[in-house]
């Protein structure tokens, strides 16, 4: 049995349950736990991402305006986030028609540790940032019930994360997210505008071939 399949949060166990730990920093109210995932757990989650992508490959989605995003995406769970000319939505299948693979147990273990809710996520969006990729300021509001939290896991190259308020005009604060950082979006901050301005290509050796991976777990109900 390889290190990756030794599994089930073994690597997580070594740093214990941090539910009671205060966040390292807040960016416009968004709590971030810097380096919460130790390197072995980062590698374990990355390995799970590669297994997801082997079933549901990364695609570069097309926005409703017809422009391809610079970020590549896939998902795990009952529903995955997709966009094309017909709009943004959650779908039960990858664009190829294959069902999304289940959310891996080590990823669920992170949700249990930090989300603060006992219901499990139904969707895990996986974003891959290659050289020059970024994500414009936006709100996440396709999930139906926006009172559930979102949990974000950063892996690989460093990224400049920007968070504003609940209107597009509010002033923003920025923070570099590093591999192993975890952010939780809940309450007031759940509807904050946010984005990724840029990625420092080659700043981490975690992802072979380079780049940054971000996982966001969400509770989405079938509409």
Contact set with Fe ion (CB under 5 A): 140
Write a three-state SS string for 78-135. CCEEEEECCEEEEECECCCCCECCCCCHHHHHHHHHHCCCCCCCCEEEEEEECCCCCE
Of the candidate residues 11, 214, 217, 220, the single one contacting ligand MD3 (CB under 6 A): 214
- Which backbone phi and psi does 134 adopt, to 5 degrees? -155, 170
Of the candidate residues 49, 107, 196, 219, the single one contacting ligand MD3 (CB under 6 A): 196
In the complex, what is the shortest distance from the CB of residue 92 to ligand MD3, in angstroms, rounded to a whole number?
A: 19
Q: Is 75 in the site for ligand MD3 (CB under 6 A)?
A: no
Asked if 45 contacts 106 with a C-beta cutoff of 8 angstroms, the reply is yes
How crowded is the C-beta side of 192, counted as CA atoms within 13 Å?
27
Of the candidate residues 44, 48, 72, 140, the single one contacting ligand MD3 (CB under 6 A): 140
C-alpha–C-alpha distance, residues 154 and 2, integer Å: 23
Of the candidate residues 52, 114, 150, 206, the single one contacting ligand MD3 (CB under 6 A): 150
Region from 5-13, 110-118, 166-174, 186-194 binding ligand MD3, contact rule CB under 6 A: 186-194
C-alpha–C-alpha distance, residues 207 and 24, integer Å: 24
Handedness of CA 114, 32, 22, 8 (dihedral sign): positive
Q: Is 194 in the site for ligand MD3 (CB under 6 A)?
A: yes
Number of amino acids touching ligand MD3 (CB under 6 A): 16
In the complex, what is the shortest distance from the CB of residue 111 to ligand MD3, in angstroms, rounded to a whole number?
A: 13
Of the candidate residues 46, 182, 183, 184, the single one contacting ligand MD3 (CB under 6 A): 183
Q: For binding to ligand MD3 (CB under 6 A), which residues are involved?
A: 30, 125, 127, 135, 140, 150, 152, 183, 185, 189-190, 192, 194, 196, 214, 216
């Amino acid at each position: 049995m390889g290190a990756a399949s030794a599994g089930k949060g073994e690597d997580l166990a070594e740093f214990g349950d941090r539910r009671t730990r205060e966040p390292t920093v807040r960016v416009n109210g968004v709590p971030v736990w810097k380096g919460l995932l130790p390197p072995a757990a980062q590698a374990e989650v990355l390995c799970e991402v590669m297994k997801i992508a082997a079933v549901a490959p990364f695609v570069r989605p097309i926005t409703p305006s017809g422009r391809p995003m610079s970020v590549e995406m896939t998902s795990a769970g009952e529903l995955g986030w997709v966009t094309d000319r017909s709009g943004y939505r959650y779908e039960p299948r990858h664009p190829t028609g294959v069902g999304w693979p289940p959310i891996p147990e080590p990823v669920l273990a992170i949700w249990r540790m930090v989300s603060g809710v006992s219901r499990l996520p139904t969707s895990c969006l996986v974003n891959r940032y290659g050289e020059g990729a970024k994500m414009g300021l936006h709100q996440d509001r396709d999930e139906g019930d926006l009172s559930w939290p979102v949990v974000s896991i950063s892996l690989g190259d460093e990224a400049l994360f920007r968070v504003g308020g609940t209107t597009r005009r509010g002033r923003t604060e920025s923070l570099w997210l590093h591999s192993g950082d975890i952010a939780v979006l809940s309450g007031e901050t759940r509807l904050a505008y946010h984005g990724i301005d840029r990625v420092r290509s080659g700043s981490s050796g975690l992802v072979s071939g380079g780049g940054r991976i971000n996982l966001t777990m969400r509770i989405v109900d079938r509409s």
